[in-house]
Structure formats: C-alpha cells, structure tokens
Amino acid sequence: MALLSKTCKQAIFAIVVLLGTIGVAELALRVGGYEGNQFRSILFGDDPNSVLLFEESPVLWWKLRSNATTTFLGKEVATDDFGLRAWSSQNTKKNDNEVRIFCLGDSSTFGWRLDYGQAYPFFLEQRLKKSLGKVVQVFNGGVPGYTSFQSRLFFRKIVDQVKPDVVIIYSSNNETSLAQYSDAERSEKTSRMLWLRMRSNRLLTYQFIKGVLVRTKPFKVTGAISLEQLSEFSPRVGLSEYRDNMVQTIKLARQKGVAPLIVTVPNHVGLPYLFEVPAKNPQVNLLVTQVEERIMKREYESALADLAKAESLAPDYYRVHFLRGKLLEITNACSGIAEYEKALECHPFPERLKGSYNNILLEIAADHKVPVVDLYTTFRNHPLGPDKLFMDSCHPSPLGHKIIADLIEGPILQVLTADRKSGNLT
C-alpha cells in the first residue's frame, strides 16, 4: 500500500507539472501573438500570406479563417463570421423576406487572383437584387483547393448557419490532383481519435507542437511525370467517389429545404495539361520537342512535317494532337478545339479534362431532376474564345465570371419561382 501510495503521488505530481508546463506555454504563445493552425500549401500559390487567410481544420484539413483581412496573391481578401469570402458586412441572421443563395465550390468560385467584385457570386447578387426587387444575399462558399469531398463536408457544417434557399454546386477542378491517398482514404485515416484532436486543437500549445512535428506534404498538382510515377499516386477524388459526393450533397440540400443547382465545370483545353507524360518511344519525344522549337521559330511547315513523323510512330500520343491544334490556330487554318479534345482523350490521366466528371454531373442532374447549367459546353463554343474567358487552364477571367452570372441567373429565378409556388419560399 505504501508503494502504491508513493506511485500515485508521483503520478499526480507529474500530471501537475505537465499541466503547469502546458499552462505556461499556452500563456506565452497567446501573449506572443502566435497565430496557430497555420496552413501554407503550394495549392495556394505558396503565398506567405496564406497563413493569415487559411487555418488547419481537423475535419476539412484547411478552411478560411473567420473575420480575416489580408492580401492574398496580390488581391485584398476579407472573410465574414462564417469564414466565407465577403465584400462587405453580411447579415448572419436571415430576415423573413430575404433570399439567400450559397455558391459552393473551389478557387473558381472564390475568385482566384481576382477582387471579390470580379467573381460570379458578386455579379449574381447584383442581378438578382435587380430582378427580384428584394433583399438578396449571395454567399461565396468557394474555398481554394477543395474537392467535392471537402465541399460536401463543408456544406453539411455550414448549411444550418447560412440557411440558403438555393445552393449552386460548382466542383471538379481539384479532383484529379495527385496524392498519396484519395480524399476518402485520407479522411478515414485522419478520423482516428478525431474527437480528441478537435478538443486539443483549441490549445495553441497543441497547434505549435503539431506544427513542429507534422509537416503537410503538398499535393502534386502539376508538372512532368512518368507513367511509372503516375501509378504511385491516386486522384484525390475518383469518378465513383465524385458521383457519390455530388449525390450526397444534393440529398443533404433537399433534406434542409435548399434547392440544388448544378453547373458543369469549364476549362481552357488549349493550354498545357496538369501533367505532362512523355511517350514511350524516345524518338517521338525528340520529334515533339523539335516541333515545339519550330513553332517558336515560326517554321510551321517544318513543324507539320515533324508532327507527321511523330504521328506515324505514335498515333495515340496526346502531345501530337495538342501541337496540331496549336498549329491550326496559329496558322488560322481552323479552330484547334477538335484536336485538343483528341489530345485529352489520348492523355493517360486527367479524366476531368476528358469530360468524364462533367458527364457524371449531367447524368446526376437527369436522374435526380436537378436543374443544370452547362458551363463547359458554353465556354468551349463561346465566340470570344477561351483566352478571354480564362485566367489560366481552369479559372475564369472577370469576363468569364460575368458570363457565369448571366447563365445562372435565369435558372435561379425559375427555381425560386417554383419554390414560391410550392410554399417552400416566403
């Protein structure tokens, strides 16, 4: 008994010392202004200010900080009480005669490298206010780097706070980023002891120790990669998981009395792809490199001749079709869209760019009777051309965002009218 008593005393003393050490460390970190939960990633352009805008999340992995104001990628960015990008103070409590639209998505919705007033949620709010003649709030729920998996969890977390009448679902830009695990697998691994980590995460001491010991590996989002390396990674969200995420988001929205609206995701098919994969035949790679050099020198006839040789050796190599599309556009022979789409079909990896993810959206819209706006087809066929509609391979330009708002406004008004007739909207 004496030994047990001594052991208990030692244990109690150790616990007291540990708690005291944590308390002193916690006080020091708070007095020292430690931000905590810092999250910096190549996904965000490696901007040093990303730690002022983003924080780690045990469930979502990262999220926007609430009530933050900073410069990010050269643009002023502010967030509201909900942790959503905002351009002015937004009412947190919903009024009886107020219409709320929630734009769920990734960096395209957020407004990548754009001011808030250049992103489609802003344009849409201005249009709806004029059309409806009442109080309208359009919430920008875009979070850079999010996939449909994270968006689904984020919407579940925030829907009861925002209480939207309509949710616009715009997601698939990040599904095919390469990672060691898919999002679903990563979630399963990180869900262990989640309740303890969520409570510990309130302590700056825990956040500091975690920041020192745990280094987040960035996703591989672009660059050259061999077929052998390609097999070592997984897409963050595969096609079947994508379908499941979208269906669950739609079902959740309807359970909460929120009308869903799907938009297909546009991209600039005439720009280099996420991952460049060399051909198996070294001679083909040499010829393709030669073609690129000849294009730079404006030696177009020689480039076409080299391209023909490359195609005879590897008719299904995607870069052959991609470069032919470039040549067609440069020489004003015709649009290169058809060749770009052939290239995408031949590419060994980016299913998003092949249209597979967008095809799933169209199928889901038909199966679940959800209104859909086909931005992908509209942008691809738009007379202004992709260079004016995009900032890069997938992020719309300010003009592109205006077009998105124009295309979405009509279906939103139809949804609101249908809900009003059914008694779901006051």
Give tens-digit pLDDT for 167-225.
999 998 888 887 778 888 888 877 665 455 555 556 666 666 666 555 554 455 556 66
Which pTM value belongs to this model?
A: 0.81
Of 292, 322, 346, the one marking the end of a domain is 346
* Pairing of the two strands 178-179 and 234-235: antiparallel
In the DSSP assignment, the letter for residue 74 is T
Would residue 192 count as lying in a domain? no
Identify whether residues 144 and 167 lie together within a single domain: yes
Radius of gyration of the chain (CA): 25
For the cut 60, the answer to whether the pLDDT of residue 293 exceeds it is: yes
Average pLDDT over residues 253-261: 97
Task: Tell me which H or E stretch contains 314.
Answer: none
Of 235-249, 285-299, 328-342, the poorest mean pLDDT is in 328-342
Would residue 55 count as lying in a domain? no
Would residue 329 count as lying in a domain? yes
Of 314, 346, 378, the one marking the end of a domain is 346
CA angle 149, 78, 143 (to 5 degrees): 10
Would residue 337 count as lying in a domain? yes
Domain with 383, as residue range(s), is: 71-187+215-271+357-422
Q: Which residues contact 282 (CB under 8 A, 6 or more apart)?
A: none
Identify whether residues 382 and 404 lie together within a single domain: yes
Of 307, 327, 346, the one marking the end of a domain is 346
Number of domains in the chain: 2
